[in-house]
Amino acid sequence: MTEQLDELADLIRDERLRDLRVALDDLHTGDIVDFLERLGVKDRAVAFRLLPKDTAVEVFDQLDQALQHEIVEGLKDSDVAHFFESLDPDDRVRLMDEMPASVARKMLRHLDARERSLTNIVLGYASGTIGRAMSPEFVAIPEHWTVGQALEKVRLAGADAETVYTLPVVDGHRLLKGVVSLRELMINDEDTVVSDIVSEADSVDADHDAEDAARTCADRKHLAMPVTDKEHRLVGIFTVDDAMDILERAESEDAARHGGAEPLHRPYLSTPVLTIMRSRIVWLLVLALGATLTVQVLDTFEATLEAVVVLALFVPLLIGTGGNTGNQAATTVTRALALGDVASRDVFRVLWREVRVGVTLGSVLGVLGFLVVSWRWDWEVGAVIGLTLVAICTLAASVGGMMPLLGKKIGADPAVFANPFITTFVDATGLIIYFVIAMAVLGL
Amino acid sequence: MTEQLDELADLIRDERLRDLRVALDDLHTGDIVDFLERLGVKDRAVAFRLLPKDTAVEVFDQLDQALQHEIVEGLKDSDVAHFFESLDPDDRVRLMDEMPASVARKMLRHLDARERSLTNIVLGYASGTIGRAMSPEFVAIPEHWTVGQALEKVRLAGADAETVYTLPVVDGHRLLKGVVSLRELMINDEDTVVSDIVSEADSVDADHDAEDAARTCADRKHLAMPVTDKEHRLVGIFTVDDAMDILERAESEDAARHGGAEPLHRPYLSTPVLTIMRSRIVWLLVLALGATLTVQVLDTFEATLEAVVVLALFVPLLIGTGGNTGNQAATTVTRALALGDVASRDVFRVLWREVRVGVTLGSVLGVLGFLVVSWRWDWEVGAVIGLTLVAICTLAASVGGMMPLLGKKIGADPAVFANPFITTFVDATGLIIYFVIAMAVLGL
């Protein structure tokens, strides 16, 4: 399949567009998406226009957000309206959130009144809340209805709703009383009253953080969750496919920041080299600035270095090991935070665990380091290396475990405080520890 | 809510179990799961036994696998059978995959024949394939049936099936012809023939890699995907909740290996300190062994170091910057691989991009480095630092971008080849580059 896609790219280059159109007709929607996401901006616009209208809408729906953005900007006004109307309200809002205001207005102008008001309900919530990601197109069932009535409503209203598989149950004042699954309705008798088979709903407040709600939806294996306002009135529904989008985006951000770069928010091969460069340069400069601390520390101890040049040989190994230990702790705790296994109030439980882990790891490495260095150089240098390893590992594991929690506490992305910053911090403090121990043991 | 959970933990410590039982009665299933996942092994066993039977089954279903394992081992035989029967076949297989054989046999013994044979179908596929994760409990619809007949089958068989929302459509030989959603059935006329409303199925081969299939399911927003054998006969169905479990597990593995540790496969706070230590020590030793290369390199150039001690001051900054640049590239490419945006055949496209990014980043840092060092020390040392930064950044970005792809090509986890190994590699080669440039420029 993958090689076949490369051949299609050749068709564009050779301008054999008729052949391309025929070839695209034979592909699954998902494969067309994969194909488009590997092309450059211009080639993608060309290929997209060759798709039959219905396929185009489906493909558009699955495309990466950044690419949807580019495609809409390249379309004629009438086509924009067509695509925009074909999207679900929640997808529409997400797309519009990232558009220049002029394009957003152009899109809203072409919607009919009902569609526009649905979009506006969703737009009333702050960015980053689940209200912004939910769909207002739910099918609510009054609790006193029978199963037969409920099924009839699904039949009539089902085509336009975001989902018909999880149905919120409400009372006369639109207060959420629970949920009933379509499966429950199907396997129960027509005359059963809905309130007899309703299940407790795991609902979420519309102002709640979207990533947190998405994680709950995934962890608790819900296909959809009802969204309510402060008074517990039903205002929307949030589906698992949107939850997965939110989590994938959050995980891409975490992964990028762990590696010391800003997330690209678009497929790698379709991202211009200059954009990749920009996503990295600021981090790199900040980290290099932090690393000048190590130059200062070494400058301070230059006399010691000149007296015992052999100390310089172990600098990369010691700070490298410190960095690795810190990264291990930071990665474990960041992931536990993302999964909700740890909260910022657990700061002392985490610290106490990581101190013990750090001391143990440091002792194992310290003894090995002492033996090897004593044998190859002399026992005094061996003692310096051994003691430094114990101290650095303990420091690195504790700081590595704490940083993500402290970052979360002050409202920053925990991943930002992870690997690269810890490495820089441990580099500088590790060197100070190293030279202090060296001066004490060697009597300098 | 979170503080309330901490108060419950106090109830166990104070042995006020009656109060705890009352308090647990008021909690949502999901909150009970969160509560249990924060307890130690013994406290968890105590709390779990206080749950009413039905709640216990639901809670068990949502618990982390490693904790399910411990709970089953602590239960009496009759209780084991009860829990095991209440699980879906795919969840049961996953649980059993990780059990000691003696416990697994104990569990199978108590199942009735039909349940046992379903488990065995799933067990016939290799570990890591989608066959192992799928459910054999699907509701298949013959293509010549009417919508009315199909709905009747859902009504009768729906209670036991894994899902009734995505229904595979088959011909007389059980060959997969497509899928029809329950929503489609609901909104169409009773007399419509199913083959008129069937959609093309995005199916997956039972021997296919589970993570890859899960990613497809998530990307293409399917609630479920039919699973077929080599002859395209329907053998099972794979649902989005299982896809999310697989992806979460894969992402935890990636995150851990990025940070240079083995994944814990269980919630952080419930993991013994010794287990955390073990997940890190081997990596740390291997990386420390790799770092002895840097000691060798510095030892080789000791004469140069002794002649110009000022060179030692910049060692941490230079190798740190190299490590950061390498990590940025490796993280971006690993994530792109995980999302399917890049494949291993793209190796030269990636290389060419990363070379350009590396040269640009290196030039920016190199010019800055030259200016600062020339001003603070002298222009010759400045030139050495500037040139080294250009060379190291180019090398690090290219190697960082290639490593995950090469790792994937030889069948290893790309994340293993990412950050820590690249740092170690760049450390050693970066130092060689540094001293070669220094000797050339300073005429040593």
Residue A288: its pLDDT value, please? 86
Closest partner residue to A306 among B254, B309, B419, by Cβ? B309
Q: What is the DSSP letter of B437?
A: H
Does B345 lie at the interface with A, CB-CB under 8 angstroms?
A: yes
C-alpha distance from A250 to closest chain B C-alpha (Å): 12
Out of B128, B159, B178, a domain closes at: B128
For A42-101, what is each residue's pLDDT tens digit? 788 778 878 887 788 778 877 877 787 777 777 666 666 666 667 776 777 766 666 665
Query: What pLDDT, on the 0 to 100 scale, is given for residue A391?
Result: 96
pLDDT-derived band at B34 (thresholds 50, 70, 90) equals: confident
pLDDT in tens, B372-426: 999 998 899 999 999 999 999 999 999 999 988 888 887 766 666 666 778 888 8
Determine, yes or no, domain membership for B260: no
Name chain A contacts of B298, Cβ cutoff 8 Å.
312-313, 315-316
Q: Are residues A120 and A159 in the same domain?
A: no
Q: Are residues B210 and B354 in the same domain?
A: no
Closest residue to B427, CB basis, from A320, A336, A365? A320
Examine the fold and report which residue of B70, B100, B128 is the final residue of a domain before the chain moves on. Answer: B128
Q: Do A321 and B295 touch (CB under 8 A)?
A: no
Domain membership of residue A229 as a residue range: 141-248
Burial class (CB in 10 A: 0-12, 13-18, 19+), A111: middle
Task: Decide if A295 and B305 are in contact by the 8 Å CB cutoff.
Answer: no
- For residue B267, being part of any structural domain is answered with no
Interstrand relation of A176-181 and A204-205 (parallel, antiparallel or unpaired)? unpaired
Q: What is the pLDDT of residue B149?
A: 93
Whether residue A173 sits in one domain with residue A118 = no
> Does A269 sit within 8 Å of B336, measured CB to CB?
yes
pLDDT of residue B269: 82
CATH code for the domain of A376: 1.10.357.20
Contact A312 B305 (CB under 8 A): yes
Structure tokens at A287: 């980290």
A61 and A183: one domain? no
Greater pLDDT, A84 or B440: B440
Same structural domain, B181 and B310: no
For A25-46, the pLDDT digits (tens) are 888 888 888 888 888 777 887 7
| Cβ atoms of residues A262 and B331 within 8 Å | no
One domain for residues B62 and B177: no
Strand, helix or coil for residue B32:
helix
Closest Cβ opposite residue A291 in set B62, B165, B316: B316
Task: Read off φ and ψ for residue B143, nearest 5 degrees.
Answer: -65, -25
- From the list B30, B158, B327, which residue is nearest A259 (CB)? B327
* DSSP assignment of B129-141: BHHHHSBS----E
B315 belongs to a structural domain: yes
Strand duo A204-205 + A166-170: pairing: unpaired
- pLDDT per residue as tens digits for the range B238-258: 999 889 888 888 888 877 877
A355 with A280, same domain: the answer is yes
Contacts (Cβ under 8 Å, ≥6 apart) of A320: B287, B288, B291, B294, B319, B423, B424, B427
Which helix (H) or strand (E) segment holds residue A238: the answer is strand A234-239
Interface of B with A in 93-132 (CB under 8 A): none
* Residue of chain B minimizing CA distance to A295: B313
Q: Which two tokens stand for residue A27?
A: 């592909």
Which of helix, strand or coil describes residue B235? strand
- Average pLDDT on B262-275 reads 82
- Name the residue among B287, B309, B321 with its Cβ closest to that of A291: B321
Amino acid at B10: D
For residue B167, give the DSSP letter: E
Distance in angstroms (rounded) separating the CA atoms of residues A276 and B353: 9
Is the same domain home to B230 and B147?
yes
- Residue B198 maps to which CATH number? 3.10.580.10
Nearest CA of chain A to the CA of B316: how many Å?
7
- Residue A357 burial (C-beta neighbours within 10 Å; 0-12, 13-18, 19+): buried
Whether residues A148 and A114 share a domain: the answer is no
Give strand ranges (E) for B171-311: 176-181, 204-205, 224-228, 234-239
Domain membership of residue A9 (yes or no) is yes
| B260 reaches A (C-beta below 8 A) | yes
Start-to-end C-alpha separation, chain B = 68
User: Is B259 a domain residue?
Assistant: no
Pair B106, B153 in one domain: no
Residue type, B2: T
Least Cα distance to A67 among A266, A273, A250 occurs for A266
Q: B291–A328: do the CB atoms touch at under 8 Å?
A: no
Is residue B225 a part of any domain in this protein?
Answer: yes
Å from A298 to nearest chain B CA? 5
Query: Do A265 and A66 contact (CB within 8 A), yes or no?
Result: yes
C-alpha neighbours within 13 Å on the C-beta side of residue B128: 2
3-state secondary structure of B192: coil
Beta carbons of B331 and A256 less than 8 Å apart: yes
* Chain B closest-CA separation from residue A187 CA (Å): 5
A149 and A177, same structural domain? yes
Whether A307 maps to a domain, the answer reads yes
| DSSP 8-class letter at B232 | -
Q: Is A340 on the interface with B (CB under 8 A)?
A: yes
**Contact B258/A260, CB-based, under 8 Å?**
no
CA distance B101 to chain A (A): 28
User: Cα–Cα distance between A336 and B259 in angstroms, integer?
Assistant: 13
CA distance B164 to chain A (A): 7
Is some CB atom of chain B closer than 8 A to the CB atom of A40?
no
**Which residues from chain B sit within 8 angstroms of residue A305, using beta carbons?**
309, 312
Q: Tell me: pLDDT of B101 over 80.
A: no
Residue among B38, B219, B277 whose CB faces A360 most closely: B277
What is the tally of structural domains in chain B?
A: 3
Report the pLDDT value the prediction gives residue B259, as an integer from 0 to 100: 74
User: Which B residues, 419 through 438, put their C-beta within 8 Å of a C-beta on chain A?
Assistant: 419-420, 423-424, 427, 431
Give me the total of CB pairs closer than 8 Å, taking one residue from chain A and one from chain B: 325
Put simply, the answer to whether B419 touches A259 (Cβ < 8 Å) is yes
Q: Which residue has the higher pLDDT, A143 or A65?
A: A143
The answer on pLDDT for B211 being more than 70 is yes
Nearest CB partner across the interface for B341, out of A216, A269, A424:
A269
Question: Which CA distances in Å does A154 have to A100, A134, A160, A182, B187?
Answer: 38, 20, 10, 9, 8
pLDDT of the residue at B242: 87
Answer yes or no: do A315 and A373 share one domain: yes
**Of all helices (H) and strands (E), which one includes residue A106?**
helix A101-109
- Reading phi first (left if > 0) and then psi (alpha if -120 to 50, else beta), residue B221 is in left
The verdict on residue B306 lying in a domain is yes
